[in-house]
Amino acid sequence: MSPHAVADGLAIEATGLEKAYGKPDRRLLGKAGKGRGGGNGEEGAGGRATARAAGQAAGQGAGQDAGQTSRRTTVLCGIDLRVPRGTVFALLGPNGAGKTTAVRILATLTTADRGTARVAGHDVVTERRRVRRAISLTGQFAAVDEKQTGEENLRMMARLSGLSRADAKRRAAELLDTFQLTAASRRLAGTYSGGMRRRLDLAAGLVGEPEVVFLDEPTTGLDPRSRQELWQVVRGLSARGVTVFLTTQYLEEADQLADRIAVLDRGRLVAEGTADELKTRVAGHRLDLVLADEAAYRRLAPRAVHHSAETLTVGLPTDGTAAEVRALLDEVDPHRTDVIRFTLHSATLDDVFLALTEGAGTGEAGTGQATTSTSGGTSTSGGAATTATTTTATAAASDDGKEPARV
């Protein structure tokens, strides 16, 4: 690791990351270029100049009046990240918030439009090969060769990482034992359960003993038991000093695993801290009220951090003291006719998530689509899901075609 990273103890450091997707609005460019071929040629030259200017404005993404000059969707809006070495860092956010894009930038799979980032002490743009040697990325879907056994998958990954046959065999055996897959090592991966495939996929990413592991929604689609097993693996990685960068929509997962949590909403970091700090920021406790009718529900829902129209329930923030609970009940139900019953409990990450990302989540679950409003109307852009995994990327050469990129 570079002296820079050793000095500050950071595994990941990002400053001002911005990213937008999309293309310039061709209708605007067409209108700008209509002057070509007319008059004495000056009009045509002016049309070309206007078209170039329009294209430059569109290329600025989230720049001045971007909605009027382009169909670009801003995915990240200048986010800053600091992740100490040997910790588990969770990035939370609704669909379309920009979580996968942030991971792709840090893993060198795409570049930011603006900003800088260092991973394992190396710049993600100027030192891409060094970053790739130091990291592993497991995407949202397990990618293992179903026609090979679990052992063959790991030995193949080890060989692609440059290990000798003997070392590859030894490393595969170590990982199979660590991930409790030894008994199934001679079975075809296609016969594995979802949880076993996930563990095998993660094991493949650890063949080269990376310093930083990126897990992009690793427990998506897993049953509760398989999710618990994967949590144990993540805890084990952290205990051995590996830095884990986790994106997830499962709030319990972040609560259980993460040393620090950041909440990303529509491309902006809206909060960061420990789970307890974030819960305290929203409210120490939550008072859940079951209401008598829809009129009372509609009146109180706008101020609630949690609400359910089906059960006519609203959750209101409170410090949990008897005095405030009494005062809150008197405030919301002065005639004592609207509240049927109430319960008081500690705030959860669900409360944090709902309070900090209110109005977000317009994307369809699982599609990675984000809908954004611009001055030119509403546009929808499909965010690219992280499908690149350790298995596929190891076989790919880096930029100069000479060195395998282990991400």
Q: Which two tokens stand for residue 180?
A: 């409790």
Determine how β-strand 212-216 pairs with β-strand 73-84: unpaired
**CA–CA dist 12, 137 (Å, integer):** 14
Q: For the domain that residue 260 is a member of, what is the CATH number? A: 3.40.50.300
Count of beta carbons in the 10 Å neighbourhood of residue 393? 23
Contacts of 399 (CB under 8 A, 6+ apart): 128, 129
DSSP 163-186: --HHHHHHHHHHHHHHTT-GGGTT
Same domain? 110 vs 251:
yes
Which of 228, 258, 278 is the C-terminal boundary of a domain? 278
Query: Considering the domain boundaries, does residue 1 fall inside one?
Result: no
Same domain? 365 vs 216:
no
Give the model's pLDDT for residue 129: 94
Local structure of 279: helix, strand or coil: helix
Query: Considering the domain boundaries, does residue 6 fall inside one?
Result: no
Same domain? 88 vs 63:
no
Same domain? 379 vs 369:
no
Please check whether residue 222 is in contact with residue 194, taking contact to mean a CB–CB distance below 8 angstroms: yes
pLDDT in tens, the chain (407 residues): 333 444 458 999 999 999 998 765 555 445 444 444 444 443 344 443 334 334 444 444 444 444 444 577 889 999 999 999 999 999 988 888 899 999 999 999 999 999 999 999 999 999 999 999 999 988 777 788 999 999 999 999 999 988 999 999 999 999 999 888 999 999 999 999 888 888 898 889 888 889 999 998 888 777 888 888 888 888 988 998 999 999 987 778 888 899 999 999 889 998 898 888 887 766 567 889 999 999 999 999 988 877 888 899 998 888 788 998 999 999 999 999 999 999 987 766 666 776 677 654 433 333 333 333 333 333 333 333 333 333 333 333 344 433 333 33
Distances (CA, A) of 336 to 133, 292, 307, 312, 330: 65, 10, 20, 16, 8
Query: Considering the domain boundaries, does residue 5 fall inside one?
Result: no
**Short-list 359, 302, 303, CA closest to 94:** 359
**CA–CA dist 69, 208 (Å, integer):** 46
Which of 278, 308, 338 is the C-terminal boundary of a domain? 278
Query: Considering the domain boundaries, does residue 16 fall inside one?
Result: no
Please check whether residue 138 is in contact with residue 220, taking contact to mean a CB–CB distance below 8 angstroms: no
Same domain? 353 vs 259:
no
Count of beta carbons in the 10 Å neighbourhood of residue 375? 9
Same domain? 91 vs 54:
no
Q: Which two tokens stand for residue 354?
A: 């709902």
Query: Considering the domain boundaries, does residue 309 fall inside one?
Result: yes
Same domain? 168 vs 100:
yes
Same domain? 306 vs 260:
no
The total domain count for the chain is: 3
Query: Considering the domain boundaries, does residue 13 fall inside one?
Result: no
Local structure of 11: helix, strand or coil: strand
Same domain? 106 vs 28:
no
Same domain? 289 vs 392:
no
Same domain? 176 vs 315:
no
Q: Which two tokens stand for residue 215?
A: 């897990």
Residue-number span of the structural domain to which 336 is assigned: 282-373
**CA–CA dist 124, 2 (Å, integer):** 13
Same domain? 128 vs 258:
yes
Residue type (1 letter), 121: G
Its pTM stands at 0.64
Query: Considering the domain boundaries, does residue 4 fall inside one?
Result: no
Which of 278, 306, 340 is the C-terminal boundary of a domain? 278
